[in-house]
Amino acid sequence: MSPATIIFYIISAFILVTGLLAVTTRKIFRASIWLLFSLIGIAALYFWMQLEFLAAVQIIVYVGGIVVLIIFSIFLTIKSGEEMPKPILIRSIFSALAVLFGTGFVVRIISLYTFKPISTTAFNLSVNQIGTQMLDTKDFGYLLPFELISILLLAAMIGCIVIALKSNDKEATTFQNSIQ
């Protein structure tokens, strides 16, 4: 076993353990911190695959953006020190069974299939290449999806502001009265 192989197994064990802790721990703030570690582990996996650009994007967007957003919303909505109520036992048993069955099923299918690489050229990725192909209008260019994504981001941003905007006090009280 070469050092690279050993490092891969260490990284994957780290990702799986922290991910499992993120979905099972009962303190919500700790769950978000475990999620943070799991996402950093995935960035390390990209580094291991020599995709430095993607690893940087992963760290900037997930670790710097989404996890911080989640932590902010935890502080805005619930008492972060309190423990969440335990999940119903029968529900967790059946979901664990379904998950184990699904994992076994997919792992068996993957292990029965042999993947053959189409070409054997070495994989080398430069940011230059990504940028050229992403803004290309000719064959295999990704300009149209790029523009669509930018419109989607703009729409999502405006939508977030509209949804989270504090509504009129009068409107809010009438809405609450109609609920009760």
Partner 1 sequence: MSEVPLTHILFLSTCLFFIGIYGLFTRRNMITMLMSIELMLNSVNINFVAFNKYLYPEKLDGIFFTIFVITIAAAEAAVAIAIIINLYRSHHSIDVEDATEMKY
Query: Binders of partner 1 among 79-118, rule CB under 8 A?
Result: 84-85, 87, 91-92, 95-96, 98-99, 102-103, 106-107, 110-111, 115-118
Query: Phi and psi for 31 in degrees, rounded to 5?
Result: -60, -40
Distance CA 110, CA 95 (A): 22
Give 27's strand partners.
83
Binding status of residue 40 toward partner 1 by CB under 8 A: no
Q: Give the side-chain half-sphere CA count within 13 A for 8.
A: 7
Query: Phi and psi for 81 in degrees, rounded to 5?
Result: -80, -20
Of 2 and 137, which CB lies nearer to partner 1 in the complex structure? 2
Query: Would you list the DSSP string of 95-107?
Result: HHHHHHHHHHHHH
Instruction: Please tell me the count of residues contacting partner 1 according to CB under 8 A.
Output: 85
Binding status of residue 123 toward partner 1 by CB under 8 A: yes
Q: Which two tokens stand for residue 51?
A: 């995709």
Binding status of residue 33 toward partner 1 by CB under 8 A: no
Binding status of residue 68 toward partner 1 by CB under 8 A: no
Distance CA 35, CA 68 (A): 11
Binding status of residue 74 toward partner 1 by CB under 8 A: yes
Binding status of residue 10 toward partner 1 by CB under 8 A: no
The number of beta carbons lying within 10 Å of the beta carbon of residue 45 is 19
Q: C-beta of 1: minimal distance to partner 1 in Å?
A: 7
Q: C-beta of 170: minimal distance to partner 1 in Å?
A: 14
Q: C-beta of 27: minimal distance to partner 1 in Å?
A: 11
Among 10, 57, 135, 143, binds partner 1 (CB under 8 A): 57
Q: C-beta of 138: minimal distance to partner 1 in Å?
A: 14
Binding status of residue 2 toward partner 1 by CB under 8 A: yes
Q: C-beta of 52: minimal distance to partner 1 in Å?
A: 12
Cβ neighbours of residue 43 closer than 8 Å, sequence gap 6 or more: 55, 58, 59, 62, 63
